[in-house]
Structure 1
Amino acid sequence: MSTRFVTGALFAAITSALPAAAHDLTETVTPHFEKAITNIPGKTLKVVIVDYSPGGASVPHTHADSSFIFAHVLSGEVESKVNDGPTQIYRTGESWYEPPASKHLVSRNASKTKSARLLAVFVLDTDEKTLTTPIE
């Protein structure tokens, strides 16, 4: 094999991997807390932390039909659109809520250079196991 062939193959492999990596920016969801609400039978409180890398985003999704959600930006800026509401940017310390059976059409890091972190608190039926479902 010639050096030119090996160099060309290596260059092609590296450059073809770059676009895939650029489009692989998603969120990381970490369970943080879960507890049955003893004075509301059949309801559970679940808390997750969502970390967005620079430019990271969630796919459009729905949440469990029974879930009421409180979202609070821990760091950075998060762009969000729920149902037919406006697309808004929430900054560190700002919050919003999502009523049951909402469609979360936009959820992403508003920055291409800095990370963002979000705390999401769910109150939902205890038998609901899936918090999010992608919208097809």
Structure 2
Amino acid sequence: MNARSIIGAACAALAIATAIPAAADDPGDVVTPHFEQAIPNIPGKTLTALIVDYPPGGTSAPHRHADSSFIFAYVLSGEIESKVNDGATQVYRAGESWYEPPASNHLVSRNASKIKPAKLLAVFVADTDEKALTTPIE
């Protein structure tokens, strides 16, 4: 093995090693199903509640919500920065809430803090047969 090959291999290893920590520095969210129940007096509709935990600096990838889903979002702790459709980007604090109309594009959803965690309750009312409540926007 010559010096050029060793240097090339070392540069490739260094590039890979520096790329891995960069990905680790971009934490995502953790979504935990909390409750799901068919709504007995509204045939074909289901209420689903999810808890979304954001670590410090955590984000959700941009996503689209199901065509039938009406969403109520309530900040349980911390501060959440959110942008839905063409609305303004807003910061919601613990105890504040907002709603998202059916088929919304959720373009920004992240922890507004780089040092404190945040937690969100997301409640969906959607068609029972619509299982994918969110789809990534590519």
TM-score with structure 2 setting the length? 0.87
The 4+ residue runs of structure 1 with deviation greater than 3 A are 12-17
Q: Are 1:26 and 2:4 counterparts?
A: no
Partner Cα separation in structure 2 for residue 115 and residue 104 of structure 1:
20
Number of residue pairs matched?
A: 128
Q: Quick one: which amino acid aligns to residue 20 of structure 1?
A: A
Task: Report the counterpart of residue 115 of structure 2 in structure 1.
Answer: 113
Partner Cα separation in structure 1 for residue 37 and residue 50 of structure 2:
12
* Structure 1: 5+ residue stretches without partners: 1-7
Q: Percent identity?
A: 73
Partner Cα separation in structure 2 for residue 111 and residue 64 of structure 1:
28
Partner Cα separation in structure 2 for residue 36 and residue 19 of structure 1:
42
Task: Report the counterpart of residue 71 of structure 1 in structure 2.
Answer: 73
Task: Report the counterpart of residue 5 of structure 1 in structure 2.
Answer: none
Q: Quick one: which amino acid aligns to residue 111 of structure 2?
A: N
Q: Are 1:17 and 2:20 counterparts?
A: yes
The 5 Å alignment of 1:1-136 reads 15-23=18-26, 25-136=27-138
TM-score with structure 1 setting the length? 0.88
Partner Cα separation in structure 2 for residue 16 and residue 66 of structure 1:
39
What SS is found at the alignment partner of 1:49?
Answer: strand
Alpha-carbon spacing, 1:124–1:16, altered in 2? closer, same or farther (3 Å): closer
Q: Quick one: which amino acid aligns to residue 55 of structure 1?
A: G
Q: What is the CA distance between 1:87 and its match in structure 2? A: 0.2
Q: What is the CA distance between 1:134 and its match in structure 2? A: 0.5
Q: What is the CA distance between 1:131 and its match in structure 2? A: 1.1
**Backbone CA RMSD of aligned residues:** 1.8
Q: What is the CA distance between 1:18 and its match in structure 2? A: 2.0
Q: What is the CA distance between 1:121 and its match in structure 2? A: 0.2
